[in-house]
Amino acid sequence: MSGLITRAYKSCINNPWPFLLFLLGAMVRIIYINSIPPGLNQDEASIGYDAYAILHYGIDRNGVHLPVHLIAWGSGQNALYAYLSMPFILLFGLTPLSVRALSLLMGLLGMIFFYLIMKRLSASSRAGIAAIFFIAINPWHIIMSRWALESNLFPTMILIAVYFLLRSFNNPRWFYAFSGMLALSLYAYGTAYFFVPLFAFGTVILLLYSKVLKLRTLVWNALLFAAMALPILLFIVINRYSMQDIATPLFTIPKLTMPRVEEISSVFSGQLGRAAADNFSAFSKLMLSGTDGLPWNSISPYGYAYPVALPFALLGLVVLIHSWWTRRRENAGYGILLLWFLIAVLMALITSVNINRINIIFYPFIMLVSAGFVWLAGRVKGAAVLAAAVFTIFFVLFSNAYFREFPDRIGPAFYDSFGEAVQYASEHSPGEIYITNNVNMPYIYVLFYERINPHEFMDSVVYANPGEAFQRVSSFGRYRFEDLNMVPANAAYIFENSSPLPAASTEYTVKRFANYSVLLTNDKADGLPAAPETAAEFMNGGFEEGASGWTFSAGTGVADNKPYAGSKLAYLDPGAGRSVSQVFTAAAGDYKLSAMVSAGGNGGGKIGIRAAGAVLAETELQAGEVYHQVTLPAVTLEQGMQAEVFITGGNGWINIDEVRVER
């Protein structure tokens, strides 16, 4: 180990660029990972909770003991990510960060192994530097490294397997590591069921032709691969032919309600030819446009690899084909990369295409970009500097969009603040908790954030559509998943800020979060006091109910252009005479006023709170087109006092959203 560290240190001293570029890539993958993406995707919550349940109780949420594949919603979720996440969950508890830690680790390892592969394939130091540069700044790889989608595990496992394979050219023992990693990748994602056998078979043919692999080594590796792959093979057979599950003391092979691989693959459809043509057409459009239309997978116009990457990839493809064809035995490694790319393209024929489902293509694609760049740089003077500068500009623009604009755009899709609302409602309400269904599988967030015992969940869960591919939960324990118009006494209701405030059968309070609110009702019979978090009489702080509760002067109103959250905001045209205000009746206590503000011109507007003819707190609004939070010092109001929140106009326009009065 000391020798390895010494060699790495000397390498960094003699050639610091790979290390510096790795640090750049690590920084852009690590910084703000706890808050970007904000919130949590339902698949992240699902695999995180199942990992937690198996770790602490030995079963997933469906009661399956050590499953080789998770049942999850009913149609399944690959289990390898859950098992590999367990050390992080054990050390740091069940949090969004602990679930995403594995993705981050695989992203960092992906950069390292990408560099090692390209360096091994070329004796040129320029090739290694180009490789670490292109993988460090690649937008697909950055986004993939920062959230916990289990399918993102698969391409990096294949990348590591290919590195082991290249090492086996000089030491056949590495071929066992290749076979083991390849078999293990079958547990990472459903597309591996098609890719891995084809890749393994093609690799064997190439190596036998190149006289790199001996028949004896092949036989032993085939036995290792078969032994490791047997459980997932049985899983496929059981679910394809509706057989019974298999339970052993070491693991369980479960039966799903409907295998998801049949939903995403055209192999099982009755019109394979037509489906393949449609899939490949969608694949071509994705590769040309750079996006699949899903906001969590790419940011326009940067796509999966920046708009300028495709010509370099095509050039690199020609270069690698020529290099391999002219010296096939000496350049067997190039043949492996071309085989990887070819099978990934063929995958597009049998898969309903989006970036996640064809993610196996992106590592070899970036390798082709790197190869094309190196070839061009060696033949056209100044090409390397110019191309690197263009890619760097795109990287800077992408990073700015990802860290500044992306969080606001992706927050609603990742249900930002929903977990906070669940935790708040669970803590502050002793009765039943009702949760809106305008969240994809809301029950999984309750399981995740409240860390519910899976036995308790199984004992009380009621499914709205049992046996379907995506089973929806109607209720479990004290949690009810339905939309309410009237909230009963002694209960809590979690709803979107953009939804109208529901009626309540008793006195109530409302706690607002970024995208969700919690309404808590009182139980008069038991004399329970209302939860004292938010002034109940102050309403519609997000303006989602239009002008309800507010008074608007001329030149002001409610609009839907560029709200901070939800779909509406209030605006004030330039002019000191403009005003927006709301009067509410206070309960005794200290109140704090805050709002999200965007303003043009030189500012000059004001926001404040007054009562009994006196201004209790006030501040001037600063100019800035990007929303920024304004928070006033707390003020003390007496029981029954009539208080007024006011916003007045200034020298330029003012947009205001998410006005909150909390105590």
Tens-digit pLDDT profile for residues 398-420: 999 999 999 988 999 999 999 99
Residue 536 pLDDT grade (very low, low, confident, very high; cuts 50, 70, 90): very low
Cα distance between residue 643 and residue 614, in whole Å: 10
pLDDT for res 271: 64
Contact 537, 637 (CB under 8 A): no
Contact 70, 24 (CB under 8 A): no
pLDDT for res 530: 42
Contact 556, 571 (CB under 8 A): yes
CATH architecture of structural domain 551-662: Sandwich (2.60)
Check whether the bond before 38 is cis (ω within 30° of 0): no
Chain-wide mean pLDDT for the chain?
90
**Looking at residues 590-617, what average pLDDT do you find?**
88
pLDDT for res 526: 43
Token pair in block for residue 452: 């519910």
Contact 433, 443 (CB under 8 A): no
Evaluate if residue 343 carries a pLDDT over 90. Answer: yes
Boundaries of every domain in the chain: 414-521, 551-662
DSSP state of 403: I
Strands 479-481 and 432-435: parallel
Report which residue type is found at 377: A
pLDDT for res 561: 83
Give, to the nearest 10 degrees, the angle between helix 80-92 and helix 96-121.
120
**Looking at residues 630-645, what average pLDDT do you find?**
87
3-state secondary structure of 59: strand
Evaluate if residue 294 carries a pLDDT over 60. Answer: yes
Check whether the bond before 37 is cis (ω within 30° of 0): yes
Residue 4 pLDDT grade (very low, low, confident, very high; cuts 50, 70, 90): low
Q: Where are the beta strands (DSSP E) in 389-532?
A: 432-435, 462-463, 473-476, 479-481, 486-487, 491-496, 503-504, 508-512, 516-521
Instruction: For residue 541, give every residue at least 6 positions away whose Cβ sits within 8 Å of its Cβ, in sequence order, or none.
Output: 512, 595, 658, 659, 660, 661
Evaluate if residue 228 carries a pLDDT over 50. Answer: yes
Q: Write out pLDDT tens, residues 495-535.
A: 998 888 888 888 888 888 888 999 999 875 443 444 444 44
Nearest CA to 317 among 329, 309, 327? Answer: 309
pLDDT for res 351: 86
DSSP state of 405: I
Tell me the helices (H) and strands (E) count for the chain, helix number first. Answer: 21, 24
Evaluate if residue 660 carries a pLDDT over 80. Answer: yes
**Looking at residues 55-72, what average pLDDT do you find?**
97
Cα distance between residue 275 and residue 43, in whole Å: 27
Where is 654: in which H helix or E strand?
strand 654-662
Token pair in block for residue 356: 């996640």
Strands 486-487 and 503-504: parallel
**Looking at residues 536-540, what average pLDDT do you find?**
73
| Dihedral over alpha carbons 154, 155, 156, 157 (to 10 degrees) | 50
Q: Write out pLDDT tens, residues 470-481.
A: 999 999 999 999
Q: Write out pLDDT tens, residues 229-286.
A: 999 999 999 998 889 999 999 999 999 988 765 545 555 555 667 888 888 999 999 9
Beta bridge partners of 265: 351
Contact 12, 119 (CB under 8 A): no
Contact 337, 367 (CB under 8 A): yes
**Looking at residues 615-622, what average pLDDT do you find?**
91
Task: Say whether pTM exceeds 0.95.
Answer: no
Cα distance between residue 134 and residue 305, in whole Å: 9
pLDDT for res 535: 42
pLDDT for res 527: 38
Residue 12 pLDDT grade (very low, low, confident, very high; cuts 50, 70, 90): low
Token pair in block for residue 434: 């009702």
**Looking at residues 601-618, what average pLDDT do you find?**
86
* The most confident of 183-192, 539-548, 559-568, 610-619, by mean pLDDT: 183-192
DSSP state of 355: T
pLDDT for res 11: 67
3-state secondary structure of 253: strand
pLDDT for res 514: 85
Cα-flanking dihedrals φ and ψ of residue 567, to 5°? -125, 0
DSSP state of 186: G
Between 5 and 658, where is the model more confident? 658
| Dihedral over alpha carbons 232, 237, 238, 240 (to 10 degrees) | 120
Cα distance between residue 37 and residue 30, in whole Å: 12
pLDDT for res 529: 41
Beta bridge partners of 59: 65
Cα distance between residue 58 and residue 71, in whole Å: 15
Residue 625 pLDDT grade (very low, low, confident, very high; cuts 50, 70, 90): confident
Residue 396 pLDDT grade (very low, low, confident, very high; cuts 50, 70, 90): very high
